[in-house]
């Protein structure tokens, strides 16, 4: 598809942890020659605990023995094996928490705020009064009655956290007089975020859960050597799995890898062959998008029509023919009951999907409408246009009326509301990205890039945006900072408008069309090119869309008038 405004041609690691649901009682470790344990007898005896005749090594396979043991103790408690945890504590002589941390936790959970503050304040002392160093390991030991604080721990912040809970509990007991004293005399002098406190006090459910919130916040201020962060073993295992997924070129499943073996997928399960070829359009196919539930596919074309397919049989459900000029874009409502189409006839149309009837025609813009994006609640949407007087407009679905027009006098090539509903992002023909707060409608920032921008996609977690550049490059940008996180190279793009997208299980991949009639797929985390597929007979591949519920299916739209699935 040639960019709007150009000469007319002659013709968004994640993985999902999954349990197998099995449970069993504690079992003895496998014998050396059993299937699950294939160590030699010498190795097996080496790995078992010493009977005390010789001192144990301070390390375990290169890891600090104390750290490993204490993490195991924590995990045993979390798994519900309390007796095993107590036995390991007694045998190893390692405590899960120091006496100071245990006393601090008891004071917090018991509502003994004076004792909690005393322990905390005694921890902020000159270096000379800090805990002693272990003569063997050189580690700082917890003081008998205090805490070992992390580097950069903030006394006022920790005090505010404790006094905030004290204040909230007084509110919960309806002791408003004492609560007001705490607010004025104990909280306000700390010069912390009082607005946060007002917000918390207006939500009754948070009062009961904020006790655990204190202990959740404290690990960032208390040294992990004396207070291990919650679920530490699970976090480490998640990191191991995610690293393996990131290094697995063809990983395309939401099933969590097993811990029993190193993870590696082969390419046999990856979508690499054409299952369907759809030839119902009579001119270039410019855009396509699967419904959120994956059951339908909408395609738009230079032939001025929009087709809606059943994504199982790929039979046509509806043929939408009310536009008088080429249709550049279409997007599904969050519940998939409505569809917006955007055309070069200066109109956008809102369709009822079950019936295929037009509910609303927007004739507000005075230039081609290039894009649209739904708010997460489905009650409103935004249209983007080449009309510099009304380039971004916010519309109400129930009232079928204009809510707001963003100022700026630039021409929009693409726009997107982030899935969390917090931001509206637009790219312009003037090579600039605009980021707005969608709630307040204020501009947060804009950034000028060196190359022409042709499309915009936002990741499902609302953290990243994918932008196609006019010179053979796709960039992944951090929405918060506008910094480039990844670059994806290889596809050919110079004269035409090509749309890339996130895809696959957990959005592990980035996929884009190309002017050389190919489809390019990259691994999102390591930027490696996974495959370049011979997508279409000739011409440009204008857009690619991945089925959000079936990681084994994506579709492409080409200048050869074909849709390939």
DSSP 420-470: TSSEEEEEETTSEEEEEETTT--EEEEEE-SS-EEEEEE-TTSSEEEEEET
Indicate whether 302 and 214 sit together in one domain.
Answer: no
Indicate whether 328 and 185 sit together in one domain.
Answer: no
* Residue 244 maps to a domain: no
Q: Structurally, how many domains does the chain consist of? A: 2
List the Cα angle 370/376/381 in 5-degree steps: 35
* Residue 160 maps to a domain: yes
* Residue 231 maps to a domain: no
- Is residue 395 very low, low, confident or very high in pLDDT (cuts 50, 70, 90)? very high
List the Cα angle 275/282/325 in 5-degree steps: 125
* Residue 127 maps to a domain: yes
Q: Half-sphere exposure of residue 461, counting CA atoms within 13 Å on the CB side? A: 10
Indicate whether 392 and 494 sit together in one domain.
Answer: yes
Indicate whether 201 and 296 sit together in one domain.
Answer: no
| pLDDT reported for residue 152 | 74
| pLDDT reported for residue 121 | 84
CATH of residue 518: 2.130.10.10
Indicate whether 295 and 172 sit together in one domain.
Answer: no
Q: Residue 23: helix, strand or coil by DSSP?
A: coil
Least confident of 250-264, 286-300, 325-339: 250-264
Indicate whether 385 and 514 sit together in one domain.
Answer: yes
- Is residue 281 very low, low, confident or very high in pLDDT (cuts 50, 70, 90)? very high
| Pair of tokens at residue 365 | 């813009």
Domain coverage including residue 135: 99-220
Least confident of 151-155, 364-368, 442-446: 151-155
* Residue 250 maps to a domain: no
Strands (E), 131-212: none
Indicate whether 442 and 516 sit together in one domain.
Answer: yes
| pLDDT reported for residue 101 | 84
* Residue 344 maps to a domain: yes
Q: Residue 135: helix, strand or coil by DSSP?
A: coil
Looking at 220, 242, 264, the residue that finishes a domain is 220
* Residue 238 maps to a domain: no
* Cα maximum dimension of the chain: 90
Indicate whether 164 and 286 sit together in one domain.
Answer: no
Mean local confidence (pLDDT), 278-294: 97
Looking at 220, 248, 273, the residue that finishes a domain is 220
List the Cα angle 404/410/412 in 5-degree steps: 75
Mean local confidence (pLDDT), 184-207: 66
Looking at 220, 241, 271, the residue that finishes a domain is 220
What HEC string does 510-548 produce? EEECCCCCEEEEEECCCCCEEEEEECCCCCCEEEEEECC
pLDDT for residue 544 is more than 80: yes
Mean local confidence (pLDDT), 192-196: 66
Residue percentage of the chain with pLDDT more than 70: 82
Indicate whether 397 and 480 sit together in one domain.
Answer: yes
* Residue 559 maps to a domain: yes
In 3D space, the residue among 438, 433, 310 whose CA is nearest the CA of residue 373 turns out to be: 438
Indicate whether 504 and 369 sit together in one domain.
Answer: yes
Query: What is the residue whose two structure tokens read 């408003």?
Result: 176
Query: What is the residue whose two structure tokens read 């607010």?
Result: 183
H/E segment holding residue 89: helix 82-92
Indicate whether 335 and 474 sit together in one domain.
Answer: yes
């Amino acid at each position: 598809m040639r960019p709007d405004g150009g000469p007319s041609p002659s013709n968004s690691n994640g993985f999902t942890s999954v349990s197998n649901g099995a449970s069993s009682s504690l079992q003895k470790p496998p014998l050396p020659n059993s299937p699950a344990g294939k160590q030699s007898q010498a190795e097996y005896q080496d790995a078992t605990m010493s009977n005390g005749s010789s001192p144990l090594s301070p390390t375990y396979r290169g890891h600090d023995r104390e750290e490993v043991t204490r993490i195991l103790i924590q995990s045993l408690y979390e798994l519900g094996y309390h007796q095993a945890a107590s036995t390991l504590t007694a045998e190893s002589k390692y405590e899960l928490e120091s006496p100071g941390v245990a006393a601090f936790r008891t004071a917090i959970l018991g509502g003994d705020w004076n004792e909690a503050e005393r322990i905390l304040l005694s921890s902020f002392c000159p270096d000379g009064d800090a805990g002693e160093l272990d003569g063997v390991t050189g580690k700082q030991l917890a003081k008998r009655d205090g805490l070992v604080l992390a580097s950069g721990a903030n006394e006022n912040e920790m005090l505010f956290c404790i006094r905030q809970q004290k204040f909230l509990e007084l509110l919960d007991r309806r002791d408003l007089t004492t609560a007001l004293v705490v607010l004025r005399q104990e909280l306000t002098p700390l010069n912390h975020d009082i607005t946060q406190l007002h917000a918390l006090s207006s939500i009754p459910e948070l009062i009961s859960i904020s006790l655990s919130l204190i202990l959740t916040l404290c690990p960032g201020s208390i040294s992990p050597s004396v207070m291990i962060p919650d679920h530490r073993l699970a976090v480490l295992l998640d990191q191991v799995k995610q690293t393996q997924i990131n290094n697995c070129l063809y990983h395309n499943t939401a099933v969590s890898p097993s811990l029993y073996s190193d993870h590696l997928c082969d390419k046999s399960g990856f979508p690499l062959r054409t299952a369907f070829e759809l030839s119902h359009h009579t001119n270039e196919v410019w855009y396509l998008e699967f419904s959120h539930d994956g059951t339908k596919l909408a395609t738009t074309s230079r032939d001025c029509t929009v087709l809606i397919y059943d994504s199982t049989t790929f039979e046509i459900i509806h043929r939408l023919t009310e536009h008088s000029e080429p249709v550049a874009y279409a997007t599904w409502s969050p519940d998939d009951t409505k569809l917006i189409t955007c055309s070069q006839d200066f109109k956008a149309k809102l369709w009822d999907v079950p019936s295929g009837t037009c509910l609303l025609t927007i004739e507000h813009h005075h230039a081609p409408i290039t894009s649209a994006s739904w708010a997460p609640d489905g009650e409103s949407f935004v249209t983007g246009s080449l009309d510099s007087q009304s380039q971004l407009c916010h519309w109400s679905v129930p009232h079928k009326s204009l809510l707001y027009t963003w100022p700026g006098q630039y021409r929009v090539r693409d726009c997107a509301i982030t899935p969390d509903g917090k931001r509206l992002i637009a790219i312009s023909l003037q090579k600039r990205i605009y980021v707005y707060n969608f709630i307040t409608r204020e501009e947060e920032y804009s950034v000028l890039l060196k190359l022409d921008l042709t499309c915009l996609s936002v990741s499902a977690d609302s953290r990243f945006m994918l932008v196609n550049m006019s010179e053979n490059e796709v960039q992944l940008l951090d929405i918060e900072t506008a910094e480039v996180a990844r670059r994806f190279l290889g596809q050919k793009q110079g004269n035409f408008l090509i749309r890339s997208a996130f895809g696959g299980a957990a959005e592990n991949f980035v996929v884009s069309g190309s002017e050389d009639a190919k489809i390019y797929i990259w691994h999102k985390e390591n930027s490696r090119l996974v495959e370049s597929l011979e997508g279409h007979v000739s011409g440009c591949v204008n857009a690619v869309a991945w089925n959000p519920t079936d990681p084994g299916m994506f579709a492409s739209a080409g200048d050869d008038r074909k849709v390939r699935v």
